[in-house]
């Protein structure tokens, strides 16, 4: 509740200092920004318990979602996770060093490479994702069922427009 009060106080101050401006958008954007920061903190705590950062979790989850044999080309991984290939290389280096992924050539195509989950990588992402979903459930259950049903399509439409 402090966040809502905090944003409202900021709006009041701006209304006082700049009565010529409509600061009502700040009520939505400010609260979303603060909520996103809080949610990120809550989510990354789970990843950390599994020895992962947010980026590593994202890569492992992307590989796991690919289905057996849990592999994708590095460029495809970068596209699915929306990071640069340079950032992807660093993530993959860390994951390979931890024994969670392997890089290998594709049989019959000496130029093509893929990144695949190791057996340990599958175990880690399955455990992390199970806890992640329980954590997300805990977070969204703070809203009523009606609010959850209303919020998802609103956010979907807004995200598509932005």
Q: Cα angle vertex 156, ends 2, 140, to 5°?
A: 45
CB 102 within 8 A of CB 116: yes
Question: Helix, strand or coil for residue 99?
Answer: coil
| pLDDT-above-70 percentage for the chain | 96
Spatial distance between the Cα atoms of 101 and 117, rounded to a whole number of angstroms:
4
Strands 109-117 and 71-72: antiparallel
pTM of this structure: 0.85
Mean model confidence pLDDT for the chain = 92
- Helix orientation angle between 74-81 and 54-65, rounded to the nearest 10 degrees: 110
Instruction: Report residue 107's pLDDT band, with 50, 70 and 90 as the boundaries.
Output: confident
CB 40 within 8 A of CB 33: no
Q: What is the mean pLDDT of residues 99-125?
A: 89
Q: What is the mean pLDDT of residues 41-50?
A: 97
More confident residue, 75 or 92: 92
């Amino acid at each position: 509740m402090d966040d809502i009060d905090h944003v409202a106080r900021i709006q009041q101050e701006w209304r006082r200092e700049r009565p010529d401006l409509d600061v009502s958008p700040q009520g939505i954007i400010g609260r979303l920004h603060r909520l996103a920061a809080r949610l990120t903190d809550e989510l990354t705590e789970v990843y950390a318990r599994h020895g992962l950062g947010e980026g590593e979790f994202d890569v492992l989850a992307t590989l796991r979602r690919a289905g057996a044999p849990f592999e994708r080309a590095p460029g495809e991984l970068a596209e699915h996770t929306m990071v640069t290939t340079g950032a992807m290389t660093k993530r993959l280096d860390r994951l390979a060093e931890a024994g969670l992924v392997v890089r290998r050539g594709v049989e019959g195509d000496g130029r093509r490479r893929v990144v695949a989950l190791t057996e340990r990588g599958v175990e880690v992402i399955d455990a992390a994702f199970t806890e992640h979903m329980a954590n997300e459930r805990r977070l969204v259950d703070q809203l009523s069922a009606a609010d959850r049903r209303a919020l998802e399509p609103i956010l979907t439409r807004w995200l598509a427009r932005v």
